[in-house]
Amino acid sequence: MRIKMIIMCFILCFITSWAIGQEVKLGALQDTTGATSDVGKDEALGVREATQYYNDMGGINGKKIRLFQYDYGYRVPEAITTYKRFRDYDKVAMVLGWGTGDTEALSPTINADKMPYLSSSFSGHLCDPKKTPYNFVYGTDYSTNARGAITYWFEEVWKKDPKWKELRDKGAKPKFVCFMDTSSPYATAPIKAIKEQATILGFEIGPDNNIGLTALDTKSQVIAAKGFGANLVWHGNTTMSVSAAMKDAYALGLGADHIVNNWGFDENLPKLAGPAAEGAMGLLGCALFIDEYPGKKKVLDYAKKLNPGVPLENRLIRTVQGWVKVGMAVEAMKRADKAGKLNGPGIKEAFETFKDWPGLKEFGGQLVTLTPTDHRYSSIVRVARVIKGKPQTVAELDMRAKFPDRWAGWLGW
Amino acid sequence: MRKPLLMLLIMIFGISGVMGCAGLRPTDDAGKPKITLERVEIASMFPWVDLPARTPLGLGFVLNVDNPSGYNIMLDNIKFTVSFEAAPGKYIEIATPTVYDRIYFPPKTTSQYRVVSIMDSGTIRLTLLVAQAPKVQELKLNAGDLIKDWYAKVGDFKFGIKVHEGMAVFSTEKGDVFVPFEGTFPKK
């Protein structure tokens, strides 16, 4: 009897130590020094802090997440070689990716490898499982967002704002131009969609203006837009470059309104652009760091715990986006693990079971529904506006409900 | 019959103890590890080529890892931000090296641990033009001139190199221990 008891104790000890030793490896590509580091560094901090939080809460059903987080400086070749290390040596369960260029460049490889890939690129090209079955995004895709932003501006500003009354009364069409880095896959990803939406709404579309992601002087582009008589500008770059363009537009009296893609619109925009950013509209994927949201305490606690040297006043919405990204990955891995399939195909299938999943609401995210035929994270577009120097949410548009006949046809571009 | 079984159990217990714990114990405050910057070294250097060409620069950061506890501790990962002095007392962030190699530090020892970070003038330029652009503009500096000046002076460490936002995570059987650190070289 005593021997049996001892055997049971030893077996329990052994199982416990084996379970403690189990890990789930997670690779993360980050840009903390490259062309999108103005938003990338803060997101990387959020990813690291969120991973620690989920580990402290028990990881993936008791398995610790071991995060490998590397700066690839927004260089596609370095992203590709780092991915190979994740796959061949670190043996990660899934990858948290970053830019559109590298995510799209890696897409054929990760899909052949059956490697789930949750990216900070919300390119619409990554949302059609027929073409990219292992790619996932953790925000409303750029194309849906861009369509939503221009629709909101048309309905709520062009049709109602006294600023445009004279032109409205004359029966003028709103004139629209795009400012973006024409060599950047991120900046160009939603251009086809927003131009189609502009056409649907009856805009006159002017020539594109190429503004680099590192641009400090955009006067010639602003003068060109002024020459066209633009009433609305779409900014497709990240915050630094967008702020430079807004300052020049303000100084040169362009007079147009601004709508900005998700990665160009955050707490830093009014700080960098000052009064030039007042009234600008942009797209938010989740709560701003400074907002009130249910998960704020844990976000703050882990920011202080892991990165006490980074002042909280410098933190951005990007930190919260890091939490959204990790939260979504953790949920999929937990579901896959519970099903006994903590591997590529199992995690993909787990993502595709998300139906109105509310887990991201605590960070100001949307209900998430993913299916084997549609990887668009949500049809909800959250539009914000800089009011008294602070971005504030002004509307949420459900693009599927608003354009039910077109929604299916917008998948994948 | 009972004796071999007992021996087998003792062996299993021993092996699982070694595999599962590896001599790690929780570090209380008195025994918490400490990290300090010992020095910065040039790991590799190349002749300057004007931008936009990239000139590589390898820096080695030698860190002292002090383990005052009576137990082995395992470093799980370490990251820190590197900043260069752009004007007297004004630093600009250049890179954030991160290392995930696991390494054990014996009890009651101070060991040296080197992190080598490879940078290049092109990447530094991008950082100065994007994430650090507000600071560069505030100091009224030209990014290209500043980088060239750093490359000319770095061999003699004629400007300060700061390590900050440092965080080392040590694993123990009771959970992770977080050790923040910072330092500047040359020490003034």
Q: pLDDT tens, A319-360?
A: 999 999 999 999 999 999 999 999 999 999 999 999 999 999
Would the CB atoms of B95 and A33 count as touching at under 8 Å? yes
Query: In chain B, what residues touch A70 (CB-CB under 8 Å)?
Result: 98
B111 and B40 in a single domain? The answer is yes
Task: Assess A314–B contact: CB distance below 8 Å, yes or no.
Answer: no
Tell me the per-residue pLDDT of B2-23, one tens digit each, with 9 for 90 and over. Answer: 566 556 555 555 444 444 444 4
Would the CB atoms of A17 and B21 count as touching at under 8 Å? yes
Sequence length of chain B is 188
* CATH number of the domain within which B157 lies: 2.60.40
B81 and B16 in a single domain? The answer is no
Q: How far is residue B120's CA from residue A239's CA, in Å, rounded to a whole number?
A: 24
The confidence score (pLDDT) of residue B5 equals: 58
Q: What percent of chain B has pLDDT over 70?
A: 83
pLDDT over 90 at B121, yes or no: yes
B13 and B68 in a single domain? The answer is no
B106 and B39 in a single domain? The answer is yes
B21 and B99 in a single domain? The answer is no
Which of A73, A125, A70, A76 lies closest to A96 in space, CA to CA? A70
B139 and B177 in a single domain? The answer is yes
- Which residue in B80, B130, B181 has the most chain A C-beta atoms within 10 A of its own C-beta, making it the best mutation to test that interface? B130
Task: Assess A4–B contact: CB distance below 8 Å, yes or no.
Answer: no
The confidence score (pLDDT) of residue B176 equals: 84
The confidence score (pLDDT) of residue B9 equals: 57
The confidence score (pLDDT) of residue B11 equals: 58
- Cis ω on the peptide bond leading into residue B52 (within 30° of 0)? yes
B78 and B3 in a single domain? The answer is no
The confidence score (pLDDT) of residue B7 equals: 61
The parts of chain A modelled with pLDDT lower than 70 are: 1-21
Task: Assess B140–A contact: CB distance below 8 Å, yes or no.
Answer: no
Q: How many CB atoms are closer than 10 A to CB B39?
A: 16
Which one of B12, B98, B175 has the shortest CB-CB distance to A70?
B98
Q: Identity (one letter) of the amino acid at A289? A: F
Query: In chain A, what residues touch B21 (CB-CB under 8 Å)?
Result: 17
Which one of B5, B131, B182 has the shortest CB-CB distance to A41?
B131
B58 and B79 in a single domain? The answer is yes
B170 and B120 in a single domain? The answer is yes
pLDDT over 80 at B113, yes or no: yes
The confidence score (pLDDT) of residue A7 equals: 58
Q: Identity (one letter) of the amino acid at A261? A: N
B53 and B17 in a single domain? The answer is no
- For strand A64-71 and strand A117-119, is the pairing parallel, antiparallel, or unpaired? unpaired
**Reported pTM:** 0.90
The answer for residues whose C-beta is within 8 angstroms of residue A98's C-beta and 6 or more apart is: A29, A30, A31, A36, A40, A43, A72, A74, A79, A119, A120, A121
The confidence score (pLDDT) of residue A6 equals: 55
ipTM above 0.95, yes or no: no
B11 and B43 in a single domain? The answer is no
Query: In chain A, what residues touch B175 (CB-CB under 8 Å)?
Result: 56
**What range defines the domain where residue B105 resides?**
31-185
- Average pLDDT on B63-77 reads 93
B25 and B98 in a single domain? The answer is no
Would the CB atoms of A71 and B182 count as touching at under 8 Å? no
What is the domain count for chain B? 2
